[in-house]
Amino acid sequence: MSSNRLDSVNTFDQFGHDHWKALGTKLGGVEVVKAILRETTVVTVEPVRRPTALTPAAIEPVTSYLTHLASVTLAPTKGSVTIAYAADVFVGYLDPDFKNWGTDVGDKDTAAQTVSVHEMNRDGTFAQIFGSLGDPQSLCLTQGQIVEFCRSNRDQLRQGGYATFFLFVAKGELSVARVHVFDDQLKVYVRRFGDGHVWGAVCRRRVVVLQQ
C-alpha cells in the first residue's frame, strides 16, 4: 500500500476496501483476522527497522573461499599472445573452444606485474570464488600473462591433475582458463565465468589473479 495514500487517512472511516484487504493479507489472511475478531488469538506488531548505510545490518560479510599461498611477479608480456595459439606451452591438450568461442583476440601489452596464487577452502561457483576477492573485472590477467605464468611458474600450478583457474576477458565477456598438470604436461580448457558449476574445495584447486 502506497505510503502517500496512507498519509491522507486520519480515521477508520477513511480506510477503503483495498486498505482493509492489504492489512488482512499482512496479518495472515481471512482466518487470522477472524480469530483476532473472536479474540482467540493476538497479533504482536513490531516496527520494521530498515538498515541504513551506517548500520551493521546493511553490510554484507564477504565469505572467504580462498587461502593466499604466494605472490609471483610476472615478466612483461605481449598483447598479441593468446591461449588459442600457445600449443608450445599447453602440449598436453588445448581446448578448441578457445577458438570456437572467439577468445583468440589480442589484448594490451603488460609491464612486469604481481599476481596472487590462492587455494580454494570452500565449495563455490566461479562468481563466488573470484567475487570473494573483489570485482572480477579487476582480477583478470591478460591471455599473455596466463601463458607466461604457466610457462615460467609451473611449480605454482596445482599438481596431481587438479585445476588452476585464471580469469580473463575477451570481447567483453569473462571466461576462465582451467589449467591441469598431467604427466608433466599442461592441459588447458575454457569455461564460461557464469556457468554456475559448483567446484569442490576438497581438491584444493588454485586460483591466480592480479594482486590487489
pLDDT in tens, 119-171: 999 999 999 999 999 999 999 999 999 999 999 999 999 999 999 999 999 99
> What is the per-residue pLDDT for 212?
85
Which residue has cell 481471512? 30
Beta strand segments in the chain, E? 66-74, 93-94, 113-120, 163-170, 173-182, 185-192, 206-210
**What pLDDT digit, counting tens, does each position of 42-90 carry?**
555 554 445 445 444 444 455 789 999 999 999 999 999 999 999 999 9
- pTM of the prediction? 0.71
| Contact in structure between 109 and 75 (CB atoms under 8 Å) | no
pLDDT bin (cut points 50, 70, 90) of residue 196 is very high
Give the number of C-alpha atoms closer than 13 A to the C-alpha of residue 175, restricted to the C-beta side.
24
> What is the per-residue pLDDT for 11?
72
> What is the per-residue pLDDT for 21?
65
**What pLDDT digit, counting tens, does each position of 113-129 carry?**
999 999 999 999 999 99
- Of 211, 199, 15, 6, the closest CA to residue 120 belongs to 199
Which residue has cell 583478470? 140
Provide mean pLDDT across the span 17-36. 62
Provide mean pLDDT across the span 172-188. 96
> Is 4 a residue whose pLDDT tops 60?
no
Provide mean pLDDT across the span 80-104. 97
148 CB contacts (<8 Å, ≥6 apart)? Answer: 74, 75, 77, 81
> Is 105 a residue whose pLDDT tops 50?
yes
Question: 8-12, 14-18, 73-77: which has the highest mean pLDDT?
Answer: 73-77
